Amino acid sequence: MNQSIMKAGADGELEDRIREDQLADLRTGLLFSMPISTALTVLILIVQLMSGNAFAAAVWFLVVNAINTSRLVLALWRSKDVSEERNKDLQATSRQLRFYSILALLSGLAWSFVALLTDGFTAPHSSLHLVILAGISAGAVTYGNSYAAPSISFITPPLLITAGCLVAIGNLDGYVLAFAVLLFLGGMVRSSLLGQARFREASRLKHEAAQIATAMELRSRQDPLTGLLNRRGLEHAVDGLRNTNGPFVMMLVDLDGFKAVNDTYGHKIGDDLLARIARRIEEEVSPGATLARIGGDEFVVLFSSASTSLSATDLASQVIAKLASPYPGLASIRIGASIGIYLSDEPRLTEMLLRADMALYTAKRRGRNEFCLFNCELDGELQRRQCIERDLRSAIETASLSTWFQPVVRLNSGAVIGFEALLRWNHPLHGDISPPEIVTAARETGMLQLLTETVFLSCCALIDDLAKANRRQVRVAMNVSPRELEAGNIDDLILNGLEERGLPATMFEIEITEEAPVDPDRVDEKLGRLAHAGISIALDDFGTGFSTLASLKDGRISKVKIDQAFIRSLAKSREDQLLVKTVIDLGNKLGIEVMAEGVETEANRRILQTLGCRAAQGFLFSKAIPPQHALEMAIREHARLQ
């Protein structure tokens, strides 16, 4: 029933659009045809004046042009108000078309009086009048083919009367001409109807295409799962807020624990839950708020603070509480939400999302079901981040950002057996920038590959120097994220780079952080290529990831680095000692080298050695040093042990 009503409404709207096109075309046609009609009436008036029929011709001339003037006034005046009138009355267009038909009929009746001016087309100049009538009839059809009624109303009275007068003459010529006039009338009527049909079909196709395009545009702005706006729809909605009074509140809502739903119940249940979550958010916000889903489990709420008496923080608390309530059928699942809030005087989407995202990240660091309002402190962090991102390329190109190397030593002898490449950047405004911050900035600005290539070339240079100094037992390691390995061509970069420089693959090592990739099979394939070439694969930050034990069983990992979190309190914590001892024993069983990172005290060094750990790195031995110092250290330590 509802679909029938909707279809009827759509058909009615389409018909109204077609009639509007007909009305517009009639108006355009009148602007061309009326001057021609006026010129023809002047010609007939001149002929009648020359024939001594001045009074009747003048009256006829005034009547015809008065009607024509009315038609022009209607066309010019009604066209300006058509859209406004249509909003007031859906039948306004049809009424205007009827007005045109009535005025056209009156004009046709007026032109019928040409028969009186020519004494039933028996006067000397009748042939001229017949030609003019035929011409103006053809013109009426030509300029009004979008809507047949006015054309037919105009041409029918004068042509029928003309045919009647010609029959009344009573001779063969009159009969033939009358028959020709009737044929002409029939042809003109048919032409009008065909023209109207073609015009309406073209108009219908045009508007149906526009409706389809509009529907597609609306669908392109809508999230099909929840019915909320998507990112594109949100952009359009924000553009529509330009003339709205602020300040504006953006809430970025990110679900906590949603992944467990997909993992436990499957994506179908997860999708249904997202739709239910969207409805719960809608229930809490004010009716005028803009809601969007811009990510897998990320929602945006945008509204003017003038539209509600509820503060942004109170609303955030209500949304969090609403989303945390149990969901029927999912009793074992608890969904939480973290919310970042930003208040802006002007609706600028990119700026608002960026700041709300920073607030969201801060809220997530506090735990589940938290919200955070973007403030001056976060603004300072954002300015710092933007400054770092802006200056990163210049720092790489000018070598202000450099690669230093921290030594890895044998615990029993102090011999240098390797180096780990670490980024160093002393920013002119913000001072020392940490390696994770540099990597994050590179990822955000699309310069991660450039940064990786820069570090790799530095590693190659040190390997080359070590090989020339006959220190081929020393490995040089660089850190690689599994997601970076997955997305890029780092394996080709490493293998081709080493081969082109004639460097031994056994002197190179990559340290993989415990970060879950999207496509583990792709990462495994690339690690297999590297390991097969003789490159050492080390598992960094061992003990802090999610797949630590599983990653040891395939034989590609040749080294694990015990995270410094287990080393700092080693001398004081019996539990840490047991954990470290377990990892060392596991490594020995699997034939995997085990080393410790973050060794800063002599006590921790002795304990590690007692537990069976053979290698370590940390401030106790050396901080990261420039490449030339690293080479000198490797040579010096080798000479000391000879």
One-character DSSP codes across 97-149: HHHHHHHHHHHHHHHHTHHHHTTTTTSTTHHHHHHHHHHHHHHHHHHTTT-HH
Higher local confidence (pLDDT), 85 or 71: 71
Give me the mean pLDDT over the 198-226 stretch. Answer: 86
Whether the pLDDT of residue 173 is over 80: the answer is yes
- pLDDT at 88 (0 to 100): 45
346/243 Cα distance (integer angstroms) = 10
Closest CA to 481 of 449, 503, 506: 449
Whether the pLDDT of residue 517 is over 60: the answer is no
DSSP 256: E
- pLDDT at 142 (0 to 100): 84
Q: How confident is the model at residue 53 (pLDDT cuts 50, 70, 90)?
A: confident
- Chain segment 527-568, per-residue pLDDT in tens: 889 999 999 999 887 766 544 565 666 667 889 899 888 898
- pLDDT at 550 (0 to 100): 58
Q: How confident is the model at residue 523 (pLDDT cuts 50, 70, 90)?
A: confident
Lowest mean pLDDT among 9-18, 584-593, 624-633: 9-18
In one-letter notation, the amino acid at residue 463 is I
> What is the percent of the chain where pLDDT is above 70?
93
Q: Residue 416's beta-bridge partner residues?
A: 409
532/550 Cα distance (integer angstroms) = 20
3-class secondary-structure state, position 458: helix
Q: Residue 103's beta-bridge partner residues?
A: none
Give me the mean pLDDT over the 160-183 stretch. Answer: 91
Q: How confident is the model at residue 433 (pLDDT cuts 50, 70, 90)?
A: very high
Lowest mean pLDDT among 3-17, 281-295, 436-450, 460-474: 3-17
> What is the percent of the chain where pLDDT is above 90?
47
Q: How confident is the model at residue 2 (pLDDT cuts 50, 70, 90)?
A: very low
Give me the mean pLDDT over the 98-117 stretch. Answer: 90
Higher local confidence (pLDDT), 209 or 508: 508
- Chain segment 270-323, per-residue pLDDT in tens: 889 999 999 999 999 888 889 999 988 999 999 888 777 788 999 999 999 999
Q: What number of other Cβ atoms are within 10 A of residue 290's Cβ?
A: 22
Q: How confident is the model at residue 452 (pLDDT cuts 50, 70, 90)?
A: very high
Q: How confident is the model at residue 58 (pLDDT cuts 50, 70, 90)?
A: very high
Q: Are strands 416-427 and 431-433 parallel, antiparallel or unpaired?
A: antiparallel
Angle CA 346–349–355, to nearest 5: 90
List, edge to edge, every strand of the sheet that includes 371-373: 290-293, 298-304, 248-256, 336-344, 371-373
Of 78-92, 232-246, 512-526, which one has max mean pLDDT?
232-246
- pLDDT at 542 (0 to 100): 75
Higher local confidence (pLDDT), 241 or 380: 380
Q: What number of other Cβ atoms are within 10 A of residue 558's Cβ?
A: 15
Whether the pLDDT of residue 366 is over 60: the answer is yes
Q: How confident is the model at residue 75 (pLDDT cuts 50, 70, 90)?
A: confident
- pLDDT at 593 (0 to 100): 93
170/162 Cα distance (integer angstroms) = 13
Whether the pLDDT of residue 84 is over 80: the answer is no
Give me the mean pLDDT over the 368-383 stretch. Answer: 90
- pLDDT at 543 (0 to 100): 62
Q: Are 560 and 538 in contact (CB under 8 A)?
A: yes
From first CA to last CA, the distance across the chain in angstroms is 95
- pLDDT at 241 (0 to 100): 82
Whether the pLDDT of residue 89 is over 60: the answer is no
- Token output for 390: 């802006």
Give me the mean pLDDT over the 173-200 stretch. Answer: 92
- Token output for 59: 């009256």
Across all residues in the chain, what is the average pLDDT? 87
Q: What number of other Cβ atoms are within 10 A of residue 54's Cβ?
A: 12
Is 0.85 surpassed by the pTM of this model?
A: no
Whether the pLDDT of residue 637 is over 60: the answer is yes
433/489 Cα distance (integer angstroms) = 27
Q: How confident is the model at residue 90 (pLDDT cuts 50, 70, 90)?
A: low
